[in-house]
A and B are shown apart, each in its own frame.
Chain A
């Protein structure tokens, strides 16, 4: 599997929370070769099932893998002299979008720019403050009457960015939170196609994570797995962020420890990584993880859950940066862990 190529397609696809279709389509095409069944549920979650080779006389067991395919974005709220007013969908730091190119999903996709004022005409006081949302406009370069014809209030807006390859196997682009996770799930299913596994695997590209873990909540209910592992991105070390707040890139996925995660599953992941000498890190999350794992853990009667984190710099910008190898290491760790699942482990967990 060409992880870089898949990641590029995933990154450049549009999929603001609640409007994930385009990104889901890329994920679907990537998952099809490895899935025994694929379906989309009421909230748009794309659920791929890869069946395990269940020994006769054992119960059906399943593990759910979740990576969210929605991204943060913007939404049209009004018109002013041919320019668009907008609001945020998800956690957008407005300081990072001045001069940003966008795509307005009107009656046809319209490229646009978040307007910035030229420094020649601004006072020092104006430049000393971030531009607030109510002074930001999107310009699609069309006459006002054309804008009215093509755009409606409520149209979503994607931040636009071509993914770029940096040095040493790093790439930068938009929506790598959490398309990198989606790529890791695809990598995992591909790896599983050459491994023996007895448990069924549900790989889910979830929706609406950025606005409250909503896709994960309902898909965990419908799949009702025995176990779950969410894959999301985590804060990678970067300039201006302390070591306490971040983890290394190109050092493997993080395995989360804390109340959100089942200790035995965490131990199993650590043991698997150790046994196969896969680089990995431990991330301590003393409370709310803010990931799909948080919703999945409390679905139905409760599901033993774990979290793998792909280290990523500049989260929630259009230059999110990851190491391709970390994505592959995440997928490999998932696959090897799944291949090791058996009835003994189910018994340990009291399943």
Chain B
């Protein structure tokens, strides 16, 4: 399954090459040209097939980010263990007792914790800070570590992809569903003809500030943009009435607004109408949380009408996340149909 390869590929922000190679290899038959820009964005063009209408857009940009959150080596201790910092937003509490892969050689390592036997009840009420953690790769000296690892090496979680539910919710678990799920959706959307030039952009460095999308949108100068995300899904039981943001299995999540963008209302209406016409379940993202590439794209040059379609993804920014393939299929269906409708132009 291509999604498995995407999820297991290692691509912490700033080092997306493995994901880029994988994507390019998979989509080559479906695109006319491609290039990799200065920030590492993979910009693919599928030229218009058929005659665009008078009101229709000439250039539509679709974006999904290749990068994932991870860690970076910041120092080597005298005992050969490695210090690290976060790349992107990571809750340090999910790091204890986890396996990681360090650097281009994927050196296996673990993030340990103090044995419970050597902690006091008061200790166990305190969060272990990042600077108290270390990655252990099994070497016992700084010099031995230096032979395997360099400062600045990227660290990714060591997580395998797996199908959890073959019917019902059709859930899968794996690393980096934020946003390999968007990359997957984008590769599927490239397999269809549209009456406009379709720029599919697999962006870099979303997790550290929407940086790839910013320059890619400038280069393309699109008429419209749709961004595909694996978004916050906080639907676990809670005693207080806190928004789940999105819910797994309830269909593609449409954004009115997040921390980075107010989605173009015409595009949102188009997506809602399309979903209702097709009888596709959909939901709204019900919290102003997180930013997306749309935040950078919509402010490009003179401004670009932009919207976000997201797959609800549980446990994002942690070592293992979960999505429903029902949501994925519905997202592809909705986006494809909405793009065809867009061929006739946006409502005035």
Contacts and interface: CB of A to CB of B under 8 A. Distances in A.
Contacts of A250: 140
Interface of B: 77, 79, 81, 89-91, 93-94, 96-99, 107-119, 124-128, 132-134, 136-140, 144, 148, 158, 160, 162, 164-165, 168-169, 171-173, 232-234, 236-238, 242-243, 245, 249, 287, 289-290, 314-320, 322
A167 B107 contact: yes
Contacts of B132: 240
Interface string A119-140: 1111000011111000101011
B140 to A, nearest CB: 7
A315 interface: yes
Given A99-B320, A127-B127, A313-B112, A142 B236 contact: no
A91 to B, nearest CB: 5
A241 interface: yes
Contacts of A116: 91, 93-94, 315, 318
Given A140-B164, A146-B168, 14 more contacts: A93-B124, A97-B97, A101-B320, A119-B89, A137-B237, A141-B171, A143-B165, A143-B169, A162-B99, A170-B138, A239-B79, A239-B81, A240-B132, A241-B118
A150 B148 CA distance: 45
A226 interface: no
A111 B173 contact: yes
B99 A319 contact: yes
Given A120-B89, A143-B168, A314 B94 contact: no
Interface residues of A, number: 67
Given A115-B315, A119-B89, A120-B232, A98 B94 contact: yes
Contacts of A164: 99, 108, 110, 158
B116 A121 contact: no
A319 B99 CA distance: 7
B168 A314 contact: no
A172 B237 contact: no
Contacts of A161: 99
B73 to A, nearest CB: 14
Contact of A142 (B98, B134, B164): B164
Contacts of B242: 121
A168 B90 CA distance: 30
A92 B138 CA distance: 24
B97 A96 contact: yes
A83 B97 contact: no
Contacts of B243: 121
For the complex of A and B, the 3 pairs showing the least CB-CB separation, nearest first, are A166-B138, A314-B112, A141-B171
A131 B125 CA distance: 9
B286 to A, nearest CB: 11
A313 B80 CA distance: 14
Contacts of B158: 164
Contacts of B138: 165-170, 172, 321
A129 B110 CA distance: 23
A157 B196 CA distance: 53
A19 interface: no
A80 interface: yes
Contact of A119 (B144, B245, B249, B317): B317
A13 B116 CA distance: 22
Contact of A121 (B110, B114, B171, B245): B245
Contacts of B140: 168, 249-250
A238 interface: yes
Interface of A: 80-81, 83, 91-101, 110-113, 115-122, 127-131, 135, 137, 139-143, 146, 161-162, 164-170, 172, 235, 237-241, 245, 249-250, 290, 313-319, 321
Nearest to A312: B115
Contacts of B233: 118
A106 B173 CA distance: 19
Given A314-B110, A319-B99, A111 B315 contact: no
A64 to B, nearest CB: 25
Nearest to A128: B127
B167 to A, nearest CB: 9
Contacts of A290: 117
26 contacts: A93-B113, A93-B119, A101-B320, A111-B162, A111-B173, A113-B322, A119-B317, A120-B317, A121-B232, A121-B242, A130-B93, A141-B171, A143-B168, A146-B165, A166-B108, A166-B138, A167-B138, A168-B144, A172-B110, A172-B136, A172-B138, A314-B115, A315-B117, A319-B97, A319-B98, A319-B110
Contact of B113 (A112, A137, A237, A317): A317
Among B107, B114, B127, B172: residue with most chain A CB under 10 A: B114
A119 B90 CA distance: 7
Contacts of B125: 129-130
**Which among B110, B117, B158, B173 has the highest number of chain A CB atoms within 10 Å?**
B110
Contacts of A137: 236-237
A117 B235 CA distance: 9
User: Which of B99, B127, B238 counts the most chain A CB atoms within 10 A?
Assistant: B99
Contact of B136 (A130, A143, A166): A166
B70 to A, nearest CB: 14
Nearest to A113: B320
Contacts of B319: 99
Contacts of A110: 164
Contacts of B162: 111
B164 A115 contact: no
Contacts of B134: 239-240
Nearest to B135: A239
Contact of B124 (A95, A162, A318): A95
B116 A141 contact: no
Contacts of A172: 99, 108, 110, 136, 138
A245 B164 CA distance: 42
